[in-house]
Amino acid sequence: MTKLAERWDTFWFAPEPPATLGFCRFVFFTGMLWLQYPFRLHTWARTPRSYRRPIWVFEAFNLPFLNESVMFVMEMCWVAAIVLAAVGLFTRVATAVAFALGFYLLAMGNNFGKIGHGDQALALVMLILALSRCGDGWSIDAWIARWRSGAVRARSAEYRWPVRMVWLLMALIFFSAGASKLVRSGSAWITSDHMAMTLIQVHHLHLKPPTELGLYLARYPLLCNVMAAGAVALELSFPLALMFRRLRLPIVLMTLLMQIGIGLLLAVWFRQFVFLYVFWVPWDRVGMRITQMGHESRRTGKSHLIPVDSQIRH
């Protein structure tokens, strides 16, 4: 029991340098700008009242449906907060404002009969970053602090838990997706012609997949069953990536490839997840390795690649 508690504690709170979290913050909020461009969330205010089907958070907290001009101002403030959060200026305030405004704006589009399943992860990651000290690395705030005091931020658990929380979030998302398939449709989700029908069906919608590979695959029922089984197995096994270090790379990489496959076969691109995968890369070590390679090549006068397995482990 003590060993389990120790593992749990280490998982969340082993000290880390601020670089990985800071770089993830920079990439995540920069990605948010790209995802939201050209900033049209305020136009949800035009959606007729008769289409409204408020989600629980709007009902529970009695959130109002604001008019378009108010939402436009909110969205512009949100964009400003995202820019500040990305560059790391007034980071604590910027991330808090980005979460508060983003939560409302991203939630708004889900009040009209269709709940999307991409943006909610963004809202939760913004919450995690707002509660974290993500401005201590890769930020103007950190640069100013270093310039004033000359001190470099020490390793801390504060820079580890937010990254691990994003890992947990992703594990829950994929596990829930896999479990939902079995809870709602049982083994028929794998053994029936559901996958084949899904692959064909999307070709009758306006937004067609970029390839006709799905139509080809749909001709082979057994192959479709294997694909369905593989998808459910991968989704259900994602939490193992949290527990077993050796499984992290294969599971995360295969899940990324699965999502690319979904985009190619079904025209559903979970673009939001690109900026969640960033949290799985130990950027501080990547930075160290690049620096090391630079030193090596200067010393030897030629490019020198360091074997990955010989990297220094902290």
CA dihedral sign of residues 131, 134, 136, 142: negative
One of 98, 124, 142, 265 touching other proteins (CB under 8 A)? 124
What distance in Å separates the CA atoms of residue 243 and residue 200, rounded to the nearest whole number? 37
Nearer of residues 285 and 304 to other proteins, judged by Cβ: 285
293 binds other proteins (CB under 8 A): no
Q: Which residue has the tokens 């504060």?
A: 158
175 binds other proteins (CB under 8 A): yes
168 binds other proteins (CB under 8 A): yes
Give me the DSSP letters along 164-208: HHHHHHHHHHHHHHHHHHHHHHTTHHHHSSHHHHHHHHGGGSSS-
Residue 36 · residue 102 · CB < 8 Å: no
Residue 134 · residue 29 · CB < 8 Å: no
Residue 258 · residue 231 · CB < 8 Å: yes
**Residue 157 C-beta: closest distance to other proteins, Å:** 5
| Amino acid found at 278 | V
What distance in Å separates the CA atoms of residue 238 and residue 282, rounded to the nearest whole number? 19
165 binds other proteins (CB under 8 A): yes
**Residue 28 C-beta: closest distance to other proteins, Å:** 16
265 binds other proteins (CB under 8 A): no
33 binds other proteins (CB under 8 A): no
One of 4, 38, 61, 114 touching other proteins (CB under 8 A)? 114
Q: Of 191-220, which residues contact other proteins (CB under 8 A)?
A: 192-194, 196-198, 200-201, 203-208, 212, 215, 218-219
Residue 41 · residue 106 · CB < 8 Å: yes
**Residue 41 C-beta: closest distance to other proteins, Å:** 13
Nearer of residues 208 and 298 to other proteins, judged by Cβ: 208
One of 24, 82, 107, 134 touching other proteins (CB under 8 A)? 107
157 binds other proteins (CB under 8 A): yes
Buried b (16+ CB within 10 A) or exposed e, 6-25: eeeeeeeeeebbbbbbbbbb
Nearer of residues 87 and 280 to other proteins, judged by Cβ: 280
Residue 102 · residue 126 · CB < 8 Å: yes
10 binds other proteins (CB under 8 A): yes
Reported as half-sphere exposure (CB side, CA atoms, 13 A), residue 128 has a value of 27
**Residue 2 C-beta: closest distance to other proteins, Å:** 16
Which tokens go with 240?
A: 């193992």
142 binds other proteins (CB under 8 A): no
Environment class of 200 (CB within 10 Å of its CB; exposed 0-12, middle 13-18, buried 19+): middle
27 binds other proteins (CB under 8 A): no
Q: How many residues bind other proteins (CB under 8 A)?
A: 93
- Please name every residue paired with 147 in a beta bridge, in sequence order, or none if there are none: none
48 binds other proteins (CB under 8 A): yes
Nearer of residues 101 and 165 to other proteins, judged by Cβ: 165
For other proteins, what does the binding mask look like between residues 57 and 96, x meaning CB under 8 A? x---------------------------------------
Nearer of residues 87 and 218 to other proteins, judged by Cβ: 218
Residue 199 · residue 215 · CB < 8 Å: yes
Nearer of residues 29 and 44 to other proteins, judged by Cβ: 44
Q: Of 243-262, which residues contact other proteins (CB under 8 A)?
A: 245-246, 248-249, 252-253
What distance in Å separates the CA atoms of residue 62 and residue 156, rounded to the nearest whole number? 39
